Structures are given as C-alpha cells and as structure tokens.
Amino acid sequence: MNFIKRGLLGITRKKGKSLILLAVIFILGNLISGAISIQQATDNVESTIKERLGTAASIELDYEALEAMDDSEMNDFEISNIDIALIKQIGELSYVKYYDYSMSTHLGSESIESYQGEEMEEEEIIWEGPSMDFMLKGINYAPVIDFEEQKGKLVDGRVFTTDEVENGSAVAIISNKLAEKNNLHVGDTFTLNNEVYEYSESSGEEELIASRDVVLEIIGLFEPQSAKEDKGESSSSGMIDFMDIDYQNTVYVPNEVVSSEDRYSWEEYAKVDDSFAIMLEEEEDLDYYQPTFFLNNQDDTEAFKEEVSPLLPELYIVVNASDQYENIAAPIESMSTISGYVLLVAVIATVLIIGLVVLLFLRDRKRELGIYLSLGERRSRVVGQILIEVMIIGLIGITLSLFSGNFLAQGVSDTMLQADHDQFQEDTIYFNDFDIDLTTDDVLESYQVKLDANYIIMFYVVGLLTILVSTVIPLTYIVRLNPKKIMM
C-alpha cells in the first residue's frame, strides 16, 4: 500500500490519538499565534509612530555629558557654536532632503495685539507696555520648511524669495488669526518694538534704555496644521491651546532681520554694561543658529548620525525626531518584550510536548512499524508516513488556532496595555525640539491586532516548522528499530 495512503488511514483509524494530538497542537498553537499577533502589532506601532515623528534631525549640546563634568573641567571647557559653513556641509550630504538654520527672538508691539486664543477673544486684555508675545523666527530656506513639513499651511500671499532671504528684506509671513485680529492683509505693514532693558538695583525694576521700531511688510498668511485638529476635544487640550497660541504669534522673517535686531540689542546694552561691552568686542560672532535637517527617509537616520558625528565640535550630538519614540512607547515596548518571551517559550514547549506525544504514540505502534520494515518497506517511507500523519493533524490544529489565538491576543493585549497605561499620566504630552506633540494615548490608538496576510504567513511558517522539528526528533526512534527483535 502506498505510504501516503497509509498515513491518511492512520489518522482516521486511530481517532482518539489523532484528537489528542490535535488538541495539544491547538492549545500550543494559540500561544504561538497570540505571541506573533502581538509582535506584529507592536512592530506596526513603531513604524506608524516613527513615520508620524518624521525624519527631522538636529544638532545640540550633550547636556548629560556637560552635567557629568566636574568644576575644573567645566572651567577649562569652551563651548563652540555651530557655524554656517558646517551646517551647509552637513546639509549637502546625500541623506538630506532639505535643511534650514534659524535664529529667533521675541519682540513686542504697541500697535497690534497678540492672539490669545478663542476663549480670550471676548475678554479685555490690558498690557503695561509691549507684550513681547511675538516670536520673530528667522529662516534661510525660502519656501519655509514648516510649510513643507505641514506644520503650517500658506493660505494667502506667497513665501519668501531667495533674494529677500539673502538681503534680509523687511518682509514677513504671519498667521491668519493674528491678521484677522488686527485687520491686516497681504501687502499691509505692521510695527513691532525692539526694546532694550537694564535692571536697576536702586528701583529693583527693569528700566528702558533704548528702543526702535521694526516695520515689516506682510507677504503671506499661514494657518497651523496641528495633528490634533481632527481628533476632537482632547484631555490635553489646554497644553495644545498653549502651543497653538505660541505658533499663531510667530512671525517668519529672513534670518538677517533677526540678526540685525539682536545686534542692536547687544550694542545698546553694551553702552551701559562695561563687562558686556568687553565680551562683545572679544567675540567675533554671537549669532546662534539652530539647524534642522530633514532626511529622505527613516532608514537614513543611523547612517546620517554616524557620518555627521565626527564633524561636530566637542560635546555636540545628533538628535533625531524618532528618538522620542522610546519615551512615549513604554507600554508597547513592554508588550513587545513579553510577547517575545512568550513566543520563545511557546516554540520550545511545542517542540518538547509534541515530540513527547509523538514518541509515545510511536512506541504504541512499535509492532505495526516493525511489520512494515520486516516486509521490506524502506525506513524513509515509514518516516514519511508518520510525518504525513502528524503534519496533516498539525495543519488542521494551527489553522484553528490561527483565529482563536488572534482573538485571545486582542483581549490579553488590551488588558496589559491598560495596566501599563495606568502607570502614566493620561494628560502627559511629550515635546521635542521639532515641535511634534504626541501622547501615550496616540501610541495606544496605533496598536491594532490584525488578521492580515503578513501575520498568516508568519504564523504558518513558524507553526509548521515547529511541528516539523518536534516530529523529526522522535522519528530517530524508527531509524533505530530492529524488525527482527520486534517480531520475535
């Protein structure tokens, strides 16, 4: 009789043993299925969140290394600024899609009012002097990277030209709400005040020592494109409103406009402070630029960091937006670690338990197998018969556990995620240098256990290989059988 046919008959002829093996494979398959489901769900969360964090990278001081210095090291160490030449050198690397470097300062105004949010619109706000609520944000990348990366959207007018950026033209892009509050339009001009103060020990107050007007022409209006806009009311809306107010009062200008106002402030302050005047004479350049590089894709992150790090001055490091993932994904990372251990234990347990069950069944069938061998059947065909029996039952068992394991994974992971989430403040928002706000809730919302093609393929590969290995090991018993001794 054909050994394949014998294998099929062996399944139906010994129904009790086949059902026992099926039950064992089904139970262990649920563990493997659940672990793989959770693993794939956590991997999907990581890719989704890192994609949302973006490909931005920046350069900043390693503050942990600074804090680790003792007093003598700190006194001898001189912090170097990142100069424009180095920023441009890094920006020309193949990993970089585009980049910018920016200066910023805060100014006030006596002629226009700052935007303070929708709730404050009906309340009368009385300021004593300039509010200093307007952040002058310098740019070197004329199309404005914040618009390219959809932090903001130009709704009227235009962005800067290259000539305006290079010449430091007195032009600006402001928010649409700030324009509406002050009845401003594209083509209008508005005035900010650059005021310099000195602390008076006699009066104990800041006294005005110099001021000048900064007149800017509006060339464009923008609106913020917050990630929270489509999510409805959030428990952390208060913090989000604060961020929105700050951005609504941002005024984009060429870097040279900011630099000019900083130099004016320093020169005026140097007139009343001799020590500051000496420092100003000794320092060739006090301009500080914050560089931001946007990479082509997430895969370039590590390669970019490795290539840039040797170019940086001492104690400067590369910081990526995706570095923030580890801070906000603690529940997911915990889940991934646990599921990894469960998968490993499930595979080992499957090999041992199924191997033991198959071995016991083979010992009960010792006489049957001895007859096959004594009749001249090749050992390989007898091994093939047993493999067919076990693998068919295994295929049925893991197919059943494919769905039940996925269902159980959803319930278990929901419980574990909630337990981990309770350890964090629900309203916590994590901010980084790239103005990206994410909450632990955002991470949990991205976690979904799905029955997709990748999961099914992965489960069948792992499940069938595990069953195959657990079957092959006890099959050495057949190879060692001596049919003469069995039949005596």
Token digits of residue 148: 């390219």
Average pLDDT along the chain:
79
What are the pLDDT digits (tens) for 74-86? 777 777 778 899 9
Q: Which range, of 4-18, 290-304, 431-445, averages the lowest pLDDT?
A: 431-445
Tell me how far CA of residue 468 lies from CA of 358, 360, 363, 382, 481, in angstroms. Answer: 11, 17, 19, 16, 21
DSSP labels, 191-219? EEEEEEEEEETTTTEEEEEEEEEEEEEEE
Distance, in Å, from the CA atom of 372 to the CA atom of 483, rounded to the nearest integer, reads 9
pLDDT of 41 reads 76
* Angle in degrees, CA 362, 366, 369, rounded to 5: 95
| Beta-strand runs (E) in 353-433 | 429-430
pLDDT of 189 reads 95
Token digits of residue 367: 């006489």
Distance, in Å, from the CA atom of 424 to the CA atom of 416, rounded to the nearest integer, reads 14
What are the pLDDT digits (tens) for 174-198? 999 999 999 999 999 999 999 988 8
Token digits of residue 82: 């990142």
DSSP-assigned letter for residue 296: S
If DSSP states are collapsed to H, E and C, what string results for 75-137?
HHCCCCCCCHHHHHHHHCCCCEEEEEEECEEEEECCCCCCCCCHHHCCCCCCCCCCCCCEEEE
Distance of CA 469 to the CA centre of its chain: 38
What are the pLDDT digits (tens) for 327-370? 666 666 777 787 788 888 888 888 888 888 877 777 776 677 66
Of residues 80 and 290, more confidence is placed in 290
Token digits of residue 299: 């895969």
Q: Which residues pair with 224 in a beta bridge?
A: 152
> Residues of 362-377 as b/e, b for ≥16 C-beta within 10 angstroms?
beebeeebbebbeeeb
